[in-house]
Amino acid sequence: MAEPIRKRQFPVIGDGGGVTSYLHVEDAATATVAAIERGSAGVYNVTDDEPAPLREWLPALAEVLEAKPPRRVPRWLGRLLAGEATAAMMTEARGASNAKAKRELGWSPRYASWREGFANGLD
């Protein structure tokens, strides 16, 4: 995502209300080990603790990448340019909760927030 963000080719579509959950690859690995060692059969959402709308995380990521702020386009234009699925993701998606993984696996993400991950984990 970094290059399109730097080139301002990753806009906020519509109200940017689509919520995303993030996770560092090391957090995914530790959650996987915890699930293998301690988990019962089932599905675990493995995410950070702070799902956030696109309108919040995309400008913050652009800033971390030392890029200009993302452009904003109306949903109808985003749907034409990127397709309905992308427009819906950026305006309607809902983040996931990691509560079950934390409760049942005793797992916590290294970067509890996407803000921490963007600031410290983009290497």
Q: What's phi and psi for 51, nearest 5 deg?
A: -55, 140
**Whole domain around residue 38: which residue ranges?**
2-120
The answer to whether residues 48 and 113 touch, using CB atoms and an 8 Å cutoff, is yes
Q: Is-above-0.95 flag for pTM? A: no
For all residues of the chain together, what is the average pLDDT? 93
Domain containing 98 — which CATH number?
3.40.50.720
Give the Cα separation of 92 and 84 in Å (integer): 11
Number of structural domains in the chain: 1
- Which residues make Cβ contacts (< 8 Å) with residue 56, sequence separation at least 6? 16
pLDDT tens for each residue of 5-27: 999 999 999 999 999 999 989 99
DSSP-derived letter for residue 53 is E
pLDDT tens-digit profile of 53-81? Answer: 999 999 999 999 999 999 999 999 999 99
Query: What is the mean predicted confidence (pLDDT) over 76-90?
Result: 96
Which residues, at least 6 apart from 69, have a Cβ–Cβ distance to it below 8 Å? 59, 62, 63
